[in-house]
Amino acid sequence: MGDRLIERITEVQEARKALVRELTALGEAMEFNRAARQAGSTVSELFSAGPGPAARKRARDAWSRLNGALHAYRTEAIRILVDDEGRSLASAARLTGNARQVVSRLYHGADTPH
C-alpha cells in the first residue's frame, strides 16, 4: 500500500486538471453563445442547441469532484497527524490553522483508509 496522503494529493491534482479543462470548455461555450447571439440566435436556440448547458453541467460536476478530493485530502492529513504522528486534535488544529471543531469533524468523519 502506498502513501495515503500522496494518493489524496494525486486525486486533488487530477480533479483540478479536470476542472481546468471543463472551465476552458465552458469559456468556449460562452464565446460560441456570444457570437451566436450577436448573429441573431434566440435565447431558446442557445439553450436548445448551444453547448452552454452541457458545458455548465460538466464544469459544475468537475467542481464537485475537486471539492470531494480536497475534503478527502484534508481528512487524510488530519488522520495521519493524529493517528500516525501522535498529535492531539488541538495540536493538529493549531498546525493546520483550522478550528479544533473543524479538525474534530474531519477526523471523526474520516472513512477507513482506502
Has residue 111 got a pLDDT over 60?
A: no
106-65-11 Cα angle (round to 5): 75
Q: Whose grid coordinates read 450577436?
A: 38
Q: Write down the mean pLDDT value for the chain.
A: 94
- Tens digit of pLDDT for each residue in 35-90? 999 999 999 999 999 999 999 999 999 999 999 999 999 999 999 999 999 999 99
Cell triple for residue 102?
473543524
User: How many angstroms separate the CA atoms of 70 and 19, rounded?
Assistant: 13
